[in-house]
Amino acid sequence: MDITSRGKPPISSVSSSSTHSGKDDYSSGPAPFELIHGRRYLRDDHAYPLPCDLPELHRQNLQTLLATRVYGKALCSPFVEQQPPQNVLEIACGSGYWSSLCHDYFTELGCLNVSFTGLDIVHLAPDLRRQGVNWNFVQHDIRKVPLPFEDEQFDLVLLKDLSLVAQMGPQSERLLDDAMRVLRSGGVLEIWETDHTVRSLHPHPPSPPGSRPDDLDCALRTSTYLISAATPFGVSQNKFLQNSNGWIQEALDRRGLSPMPCARMQPILLQEPDRLQDIGFRRIAIPFSELKWEREDPERSIVRRKTEIAKGKFKERSDTILSEEQTSLRSAALLVVIQFIESMEPLLKDVSGKNQEEWQRWWNWMVADLYENGGATTGDCLEVGAYWARKV
């Protein structure tokens, strides 16, 4: 999948409830699905808010690919390069796309015998063995522990975007406990999360103290921003994203789910000093478009622009300081957010009290504002985070 091939949704297009038939079949056997407003959801599941259909899988894959681009690699923990794993578990694997990217990453490192296991409540992933991955799928509801594995069975355990799967409190705590149970001593736990509401980045945010040079260079290369709890943010400056933020917050609160998991993950890992060591993290903000104040930053504009021009990566233009790749990354971040709102449509309509006609009108206004009226140039951004630790 190529980020640069992703375009904006057409202004005249209708949102998901009237476009997707929901007839896709991803499983070889019966699955607990039901159609709601044209999208396919897990039946009798009052916690997981997202559909399980092809458009949502595409959105999640785009989000995963976007994260690997801004992180610079498929895994952020430095320990996996120092001691590559033999057995990897991806919990709530979905399409298995992250596992396939990790397989490619290990192959580039010369590690050709890594075994991957994907775990999920329904079988949505294709047979990755056809792509050369040593892959096994296990069907299980991850909210029910213990997981169907032996103690210390895996060298690397991956968890991505579980903030919409496990409720805050005892349920997520039990899942994390069991993930550590199946991880061998010295093995690596890596967690990726994405915030579900949008904030506005203040101009010229400083890099977090102690940032690694490689991380700073990657942020400069991708024109993204390393952030921490001290990074200055404001509320979203876009009126439509303000609307969706409030609706998403209420919809997730009703289900005991976190709308902003990136701020929660590091403290959760730090609460396990007897079981986890060498805890690290990277949090990144990806603006939705070029920002006016970025032109005033000589390091990010003049120096970087001259370097990119010298390398022949793009032609000099007076209307942008971003390379084509940097522009593509920001467009992908905006598309991920818009498609997330689309996937949440049934719940957001319920929270907002809008009928279908009112929702469609609001949706078209939002897309037009973000893509045609400069609504994405105010500093609003997508926030992603990677967190890792080794088991004692």
Task: Write phi, then psi, for 302 (nearest 5 degrees).
Answer: -65, -55
Per residue in 8-42, pLDDT (tens digit) is 554 433 444 433 333 444 444 445 788 887 888 88
Q: What is the pLDDT of residue 3?
A: 62
Is the per-residue pLDDT at 315 higher than 60? no
Q: What is the pLDDT of residue 12?
A: 36
Cβ proximity of 214 and 306 under 8 Å: no
Percentage above 90 pLDDT, the chain: 77
Q: What is the pLDDT of residue 300?
A: 61
Could you tell me the domains of the chain? 3-391 (3.40.50.150)
Is the per-residue pLDDT at 269 higher than 80? yes
Q: What is the pLDDT of residue 198?
A: 98
Q: What is the pLDDT of residue 385?
A: 98
Per residue in 176-218, pLDDT (tens digit) is 999 999 999 999 999 999 999 999 999 999 999 999 999 999 9
Q: What is the pLDDT of residue 297?
A: 72
Q: What is the pLDDT of residue 11?
A: 40
Query: Among 12-16, 57-61, 331-335, whose mean pLDDT is lowest?
Result: 12-16
Query: Among 20-29, 346-355, 377-386, whose mean pLDDT is lowest?
Result: 20-29
Which region, left, alpha or beta, applies to residue 146 given φ > 0 means left and ψ of -120 to 50 means alpha?
A: beta
Query: Among 134-143, 198-207, 221-230, 316-325, whose mean pLDDT is lowest?
Result: 316-325
The torsion defined by the Cα of 162, 168, 169 and 175, in degrees rounded to 10, comes to -10
Q: What sign for the dihedral angle of Cα 337, 342, 343, 347? A: positive
The single-letter DSSP state of residue 149 is S
Is the per-residue pLDDT at 260 higher than 80? yes
Task: Write phi, then psi, for 200 (nearest 5 degrees).
Answer: -110, 125
Cβ proximity of 289 and 378 under 8 Å: no
Q: What is the pLDDT of residue 33?
A: 84
* pLDDT band for position 74 (cuts 50, 70, 90): very high
Structure tokens at 218: 């990657």
Q: What is the pLDDT of residue 384?
A: 98
Q: What is the pLDDT of residue 5?
A: 46
Q: What is the pLDDT of residue 321?
A: 85
